């Protein structure tokens, strides 16, 4: 067999300051991925080798060609992998380390390369065949638990689920009326109370005082403002109060064009020298604001209202948006309207 010498110092000189190819190349060699390495001829300085693809071990291996020279800098190395044209891929370095450790190399031809892979292919595929996890030497066996139950235990568990959280979807679903006539009667009663609340608000002392101070017909409104007033005036006040639930998109759309308790102060204190355009954008397209106090209120608002209902024994209804028919640009979303003898006593907020 022809002998060829590649020293470790030659390899280090060839690699230069590239440490990664040396580490990865040695790892490939230790893993047995170099399946063939030899000289192209008895007097040749050209080395041919086959190295398994680490990304797909069962496919055709990479083919490496190395032409040696007395001057290490004149070595010509290439590989069929993506990084092979650089001459410093891990497959090339693995081949050089192989030659360093095995001076007696066989003479191989192109036919030998093809035949070698044909012979080794089945063994390689068998070696790297994926195995199910359960076939490992230390499989993890899942214990099968059989839960026994009884109708009595099931009833107790269901009772805990349905009563543990009074405001849960399950509790509300179970508490709903399955009788259509009862449901209709409850809704009709709600609508009746909302009508009373709307009339009571419209006849309040504050709105009566406002009527004496403002007469909309005396204002010379521009077309755009008059159009907005017409849109607001066409609002179905009863529908907005009974069907638009607070927090819904419909409720938000109706609310953002009106003066509410949340916006009236900022409008009242607005300075004339400020730009109305920026002010209008902030009013009609407000940025989402929250803090720990706001989040606390949102989280416990319903619970607080339920606790208030239990304490005051009066009937409380929560309408959507209360809109004034006389001044349709005014709106109010009470947390609840407290009724005493079918008459609104006060609006809780």
3-state secondary structure the chain: CCECCCCHHHHHHHHCCCCHHHHHHHHHHHCCCEEEEEECCCCCCEEEEEECCCCCCCCCCEEEEEECCCCHHHCEEEECCCCHHHCCCHHHHHHHHHHHHCCECEECCHHHHHHHHHHHHHHHHHHCCCCCHHHCCCCCCCCCCCCCCCHHHHHHHHHHHHHHCCCCHHHHHHHCCCCHHHHHHHHHHHHHHHHHHHHHHHCCHHHHHHHHHCCHHHCCCCHHHHHHHHHHHCCCHHHHHHHCCCCCHHHHHHHHCCECCCCHHHHHCCCCCCCHHHHHHHHHCCCCCCCHHHHHHHHHHHHHHHHHHHHHCCEEECCCCEECCCCCCEEECCCEEEEECCEEEEEEC
Rounded to 5 degrees, φ, ψ at 266 are -65, -30
**Among 2-11, 110-119, 339-348, which stretch is predicted with the lowest mean pLDDT?**
339-348
Q: Is residue 267 part of a domain?
A: yes
Does 192 have pLDDT greater than 80? yes
Looking at the structure of the chain, the number of domains it has is 2
Does residue 319 sit in the same domain as residue 189?
yes
Q: pLDDT at position 93, please?
A: 94
Q: pLDDT at position 303, please?
A: 80
Q: pLDDT at position 333, please?
A: 84
Look up the CATH number of the domain holding residue 239. 3.90.320
Q: pLDDT at position 95, please?
A: 94
Does 90 have pLDDT greater than 90? yes
Does residue 199 sit in the same domain as residue 314?
yes
% of the chain beyond a pLDDT of 90: 15
Residue 146 confidence class, pLDDT cut points 50, 70, 90: low
**Among 44-48, 130-134, 228-232, 344-348, which stretch is predicted with the lowest mean pLDDT?**
344-348
Does residue 340 sit in the same domain as residue 197?
yes
Q: Which of 81, 321, 22 is nearest to 197 (CA)?
A: 321
> What residue numbers bound the domain in which 262 lies?
182-344
Q: Is residue 232 part of a domain?
A: yes
Alpha-carbon distance 282 to 286, whole Å? Answer: 5
Q: Is residue 133 part of a domain?
A: no
Q: Residue 93 corresponds to which tokens in the numbers above? A: 């370095």
**pLDDT digits 0-9 by tens, 286-344:** 776 677 877 877 787 778 777 777 777 778 888 888 888 888 888 888 888 888 777 77
Q: pLDDT at position 256, please?
A: 80
Does residue 102 sit in the same domain as residue 210?
no
Does residue 61 sit in the same domain as residue 200?
no
Does residue 216 sit in the same domain as residue 104?
no
- Cα 208 to the center of its chain, rounded Å: 52
Instruction: Indicate yes or no: pTM above 0.75.
Output: no
Does residue 188 sit in the same domain as residue 56?
no
Q: Are 112 and 46 in contact (CB under 8 A)?
A: no
**Among 97-101, 115-119, 191-195, 274-278, which stretch is predicted with the lowest mean pLDDT?**
274-278
Q: Is residue 172 part of a domain?
A: no
Q: Is residue 308 part of a domain?
A: yes
**Among 26-35, 96-105, 255-264, which stretch is predicted with the lowest mean pLDDT?**
255-264
Domain boundary among 58, 73, 108: 108
Does 94 have pLDDT greater than 90? yes
Does residue 318 sit in the same domain as residue 186?
yes
Does residue 334 sit in the same domain as residue 202?
yes
Does 158 have pLDDT greater than 90? no
Does residue 189 sit in the same domain as residue 304?
yes
Does 135 have pLDDT greater than 80? no
Cβ within 8 Å of residue 249, ≥6 positions away: none
Helix axes 20-30, 8-15, angle to 10 degrees: 130
Q: Are 280 and 224 in contact (CB under 8 A)?
A: no
Residue 138 confidence class, pLDDT cut points 50, 70, 90: low
Q: Is residue 163 part of a domain?
A: no
Q: pLDDT at position 182, please?
A: 45
Residue 224 vs residue 163, higher pLDDT: 224
CA angle centred on 258, ends 253 and 262, rounded to 5° = 100
**pLDDT digits 0-9 by tens, 23-38:** 999 999 999 899 889 8
Q: pLDDT at position 183, please?
A: 46
- Cα 119 to the center of its chain, rounded Å: 51
Does residue 211 sit in the same domain as residue 335?
yes
Q: pLDDT at position 260, please?
A: 84
Does residue 74 sit in the same domain as residue 217?
no
Query: Which of the given ranges, 160-169, 217-226, 321-330, has the highest pLDDT on average?
Result: 321-330
Q: pLDDT at position 235, please?
A: 84
**pLDDT digits 0-9 by tens, 3-17:** 788 999 999 999 998
Alpha-carbon distance 229 to 223, whole Å? Answer: 10
Q: Which residue has the tokens 């989280």?
A: 299
Domain boundary among 108, 138, 158: 108
Domain boundary among 70, 88, 108: 108
Q: Is residue 137 part of a domain?
A: no
Does 181 have pLDDT greater than 50? no
Cβ within 8 Å of residue 229, ≥6 positions away: 216, 221, 328, 329
Q: Is residue 220 part of a domain?
A: yes
């Amino acid at each position: 067999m022809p002998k060829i010498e590649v020293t470790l110092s030659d390899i280090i000189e060839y690699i230069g300051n590239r440490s990664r190819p040396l580490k990865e190349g040695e790892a490939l060699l230790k893993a047995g991925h170099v399946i063939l390495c030899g000289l192209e001829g008895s007097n040749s300085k050209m080395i041919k080798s086959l190295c398994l693809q680490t990304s797909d071990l069962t496919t055709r291996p990479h083919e490496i060609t190395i032409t040696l020279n007395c001057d290490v800098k004149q070595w010509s190395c290439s590989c069929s992998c993506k990084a092979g044209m650089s001459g410093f891929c891990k497959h090339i370095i693995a081949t050089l380390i192989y030659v360093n450790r095995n001076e007696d190399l066989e003479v191989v031809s192109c036919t030998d390369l093809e035949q070698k892979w044909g012979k080794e292919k089945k063994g390689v595929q068998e070696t790297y065949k994926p195995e199910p996890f359960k076939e490992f030497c230390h499989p993890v066996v899942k214990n099968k638990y059989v839960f026994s139950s009884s109708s009595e235990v099931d009833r107790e568990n269901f009772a805990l689920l349905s009563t543990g959280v009074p405001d849960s979807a399950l509790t509300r679903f179970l508490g709903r009326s399955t009788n259509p006539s009862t449901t209709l009667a409850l809704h009709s009663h709600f609508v009746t109370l909302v009508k009373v609340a709307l009339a009571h608000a419209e006849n309040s002392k504050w709105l009566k005082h406002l009527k004496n101070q403002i007469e909309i017909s005396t204002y010379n409104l521009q077309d755009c403002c008059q159009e907005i007033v017409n849109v607001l005036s066409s609002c179905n006040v009863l529908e907005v109060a009974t069907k638009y639930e607070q927090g819904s998109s419909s409720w938000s759309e109706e609310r953002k064009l009106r003066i509410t308790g949340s916006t009236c102060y900022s409008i009242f204190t607005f300075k004339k020298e400020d730009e109305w355009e920026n002010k209008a954008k902030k009013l009609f397209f407000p940025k989402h604001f929250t803090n720990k106090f706001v989040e606390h209120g949102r989280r416990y608002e319903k619970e607080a209202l339920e606790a208030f209902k239990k304490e005051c024994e009066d009937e409380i209804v929560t309408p959507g948006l209360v809109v004034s028919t006389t001044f349709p640009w005014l709106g109010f979303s009470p947390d609840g309207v407290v009724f005493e003898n079918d008459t609104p006593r006060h609006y809780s907020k």
